[in-house]
Amino acid sequence: MPRTNTPTDQAPQPAGPYSQNARVGAVVQAAGQVGLRPDGTLLEGVSDQTRQALRNMLAVLAAAGAQESDIISVRVFLTDVSHFQEMNTAYETAFSQPPPARTTVYVGLPAGLLVEIDALAVVEGEGDA
């Protein structure tokens, strides 16, 4: 099956040689999204960056035909272990029940970025394997 992507202006444009999303059949992967508004404005604080990263991630997935309930796995990348609870509080209302599986890791990100979030979704309908 061919890999496709569907760009959207509802999330920041890629900062490098990658797509906002990639889809093969029923599987959709969102590239890591950060706390930038679509116009490139960086929000301050881990709570606001988490909420914006989630909005961006959902927009990127929607462009490829996926919705929140299609998400099966989320990865959260934090720059500081002390931000975990604040991120978790901002994150917890983003998903319907039961929420998708999640992994949280601590990493270095470019200056000012406190969190990055990506997701994997499986879409029913056209393209199902």
What is the model's pLDDT at position 117? 98
**What is the chain's mean pLDDT, rounded?**
95
| Distant-in-sequence, close-in-space partners of 17: CB < 8 Å, separation ≥ 6 | none
What is the model's pLDDT at position 129? 44
Whether 5 is in a domain gets the answer: no
Whether 7 is in a domain gets the answer: no
CATH code of 87's domain: 3.30.1330.40
Give mean pLDDT, residues 60-77: 98
Q: In degrees rounded to 5, what are phi and psi of residue 64?
A: -95, 5
pLDDT tens digits for 74-115? Answer: 999 999 999 999 999 999 999 999 999 999 999 999 999 999
CB 58 within 8 Å of CB 71: no
Whether 1 is in a domain gets the answer: no
| Distant-in-sequence, close-in-space partners of 119: CB < 8 Å, separation ≥ 6 | 29, 30, 57, 61, 71, 73, 74, 75, 100
What is the model's pLDDT at position 128? 43
Assessment of whether the complete model's pTM goes beyond 0.85: yes
Domain count, the chain: 1
* In 1-129, alpha helices (H): 46-63, 84-91
